[in-house]
Amino acid sequence: MIPLLIVEDDTALAELIATYLGRQGYAVTVIGRGDEALAAVQRLRPHLVVLDVMLPGLDGLQVCRQLRAAQPGLPILMLTALDDSHDQVLGLEIGADDYVSKPCEPRVLLARIRTLLRRCQLGEAPADDRLAIGQLRLLPGERQVWWRDQLVELSSTEFNLLAILMRHAGEVLSRDQLIQQLRGIEFNGVDRSVDVAISKLRRRFEEHPGDARRIKTVWGKGYLLSRAEWD
What is residue 49's DSSP assignment? E
d(CA 97, CA 144): 17
4, burial (CB in 10 Å: exposed 0-12, middle 13-18, buried 19+): buried
Contact 154, 162 (CB under 8 A): yes
d(CA 79, CA 76): 10
Res. 220: pLDDT tops 50:
yes
Find the domain containing 204 and state its range: 131-225
Residue 162 counted as domain residue: yes
Q: Which among 100, 120, 140 is the end of a domain?
A: 120
pLDDT at res. 48: 95
Contact 86, 94 (CB under 8 A): no
SS3 192: coil
* CATH code for the domain in which residue 201 is found: 1.10.10.10
Residue range 168-194: mean pLDDT, rounded: 77
Q: Are residues 103 and 48 in the same domain?
A: yes
Q: Which among 120, 147, 166 is the end of a domain?
A: 120
Q: Are residues 135 and 98 in the same domain?
A: no
d(CA 16, CA 158): 31
Contact 162, 138 (CB under 8 A): yes
Structural domain count, the chain: 2
Residues belonging to the chain: 231
Segment among 14-23, 61-70, 112-121, 186-195 with least mean pLDDT: 186-195
pLDDT in tens, 77-124: 999 875 667 777 777 888 888 888 888 888 989 998 988 888 766 444
Segment among 76-90, 95-109, 148-162, 196-210 with least mean pLDDT: 76-90
Residue 231 counted as domain residue: no
Q: Are residues 29 and 106 in the same domain?
A: yes
